[in-house]
Amino acid sequence: MPENLETPRIGSGMIMSLHLAEVGPAKAMSALRNGPKPEAHEGLHWASPFLMSPLRSQSAMFDVKPTGAAMIAAWDNDEALDRFLSHRVAKPYENGWRARFEPVRTLGAWPGLLELPRREIPVDDHPIGVLTLARVRLNRVVPFVAAASHAERDAAQHPAFLEGTSLIRPPNQVATFSLWRSVKEMRQYTVGSYPGGHVRAMKKHEERDFHHETLFVRLRPYAVDGHWSGRNPLDMLKPLTTN
């Protein structure tokens, strides 16, 4: 169980975890092929491994450079996640960065993630994570990447942006994960006029229907440890320790 957490959980529902490991392509591909299966881990609802890649920029739309491996998972509770962390499937991520989250807002739907909260749970000015998941229509890949590159560039340049990454699972599953200083500032990026890249990308999606399935989840971090890009982007939370 986590101990000495600065931000206790709000409720007792399903939790999510993010595991990142900045490793070479061979290790990243191995982790991609060997993700956990819900039937093998008590309390695991859903899990998906990904390749990490830098957020795209307008000048490098197709310049995908794997920088590591990532895994996102949904659990019954902290105890289920604690048990998983001692399993061999968790080993690729043990020297990276990992965080535990409470889902506080969901738009869209995704198989295995049907119990996420629809009604927003207020989190005031607490730091927030945002996960986007999508299965891209293969005949829409080029316009999707063009639209997404503007949104990702604007996110990385926003003053409230703490850290983020693109996530790829071939052949057509794509995701992004980003951390923000506060919900208010994150909303300014997603639905406000400044800087506007995300709003334009969503408008193009409505016009051209890039995806088969989409999910947007707002995640309140309550426990973190490790390093991402040489630091802990949520260092305002105490380090996670486990028994």
What's the pTM?
Answer: 0.82
Reported as a pLDDT band with limits 50, 70 and 90, residue 193 is low
Q: Is residue 108 part of a domain?
A: yes
Q: What is the mean pLDDT of residues 169-174?
A: 86
Task: Give the 3-state secondary structure of residue 163.
Answer: strand
Give the span between the Cα atoms of 89 and 36, in whole angstroms: 6
Q: Which two tokens stand for residue 187?
A: 């909303």
Give the span between the Cα atoms of 185 and 192, in whole angstroms: 10
Summarised one tens digit per residue, pLDDT across range 139-150 is: 555 555 656 666
Q: What is the pLDDT of residue 11?
A: 63
pLDDT score of 212 more than 80: no
Q: Which two tokens stand for residue 79?
A: 């105890």
Summarised one tens digit per residue, pLDDT across range 59-91 is: 444 556 789 999 999 999 999 999 999 999 999
In terms of phi and psi (left: phi > 0; alpha: psi -120 to 50; beta: otherwise), the region of 209 is left
Average pLDDT, the chain: 81
Q: What is the mean pLDDT of residues 17-28?
A: 95
Summarised one tens digit per residue, pLDDT across range 31-64 is: 999 999 999 999 999 999 999 988 865 544 455 6
Q: What is the pLDDT of residue 6?
A: 52
Q: Which of 72, 176, 94 is nearest to 130 (CA)?
A: 176
Reported as a pLDDT band with limits 50, 70 and 90, residue 124 is confident
Which stretch of 44-53, 196-205, 233-242 has the lowest confidence by average pLDDT? 196-205
Reported as a pLDDT band with limits 50, 70 and 90, residue 217 is very high
The structural domain count of the chain equals: 1
More reliable by pLDDT, 206 or 38: 38
Reported as a pLDDT band with limits 50, 70 and 90, residue 5 is very low
- Look up the CATH number of the domain holding residue 126: 3.30.70.100
Domain around 142:
15-225
Q: What is the DSSP letter of 90?
A: G
Give the span between the Cα atoms of 133 and 149, in whole angstroms: 15
Q: What is the mean pLDDT of residues 192-209?
A: 54
Apex 164 CA angle, 78 and 121, nearest 5:
50
Q: Which helix (H) or strand (E) holds 20?
A: strand 15-21
Q: Is residue 242 part of a domain?
A: no
Q: Is residue 56 part of a domain?
A: yes
Looking up tokens 């440890």 gives 225
Q: Which helix (H) or strand (E) holds 198?
A: helix 197-208
Q: What is the pLDDT of residue 210?
A: 56
